[in-house]
Amino acid sequence: MDLIIEQLNTTLHDRKSFDCGVDELNLFLKQHANQNQSKNMSKTYVAVVAISADDHKKIYGYYTLSAGHLECEQLPESVKAKLPKYPIPIARIGRLAVDKDYKGQGIGGFLLHDALTNVLSIADKIGVFAVVVDAKNDDAKSFYGNYGFTELQDSELTLFLPINTIKSAL
């Protein structure tokens, strides 16, 4: 199956049939993603089959991106010692989910790679120190940990990956 990533378009993408097994993530895609996108609160990107004859393309997974900041105190000592003491600009992956029927097929990694690539293109234009994710549980934390994300000081489930690390890896 050849997947591509597209920005969510409610006239093209079938949100109703998506089920990742986590009600909060399903609800966001079905009821809030488009609204947040139209208000420029976040942008949602979906994995769909590259060539689809369907009127509404099935969504295999999705992620959201938004801008934000961290307080310097939230970063580990080894990182914050080298930074100014004012808020640090970040990009946030607010949600990342894969339809439960397609888990274990590399779609999560595909989505994350696309998200990080998107952030890199933004970081060439504006200041972005790191990508931050809010892992929903220990399984999600482990997933992000496999890609080099580490914990912030104030939360075991809020993780970050410096932009320079991403540049080196991609």
Catalytically annotated residues: 144
Continuous segment of H or E residues that includes residue 130 = strand 130-134
d(CA 167, CA 161): 11
The residues, any chain, with a CB within 8 Å of residue 15's CB and separated by 6 or more, are 8, 29, 30, 33, 59
d(CA 59, CA 56): 9
Range list of H helices, 95-158: 107-123, 138-145
State which amino acid sits at residue 147.
Y
d(CA 128, CA 43): 17
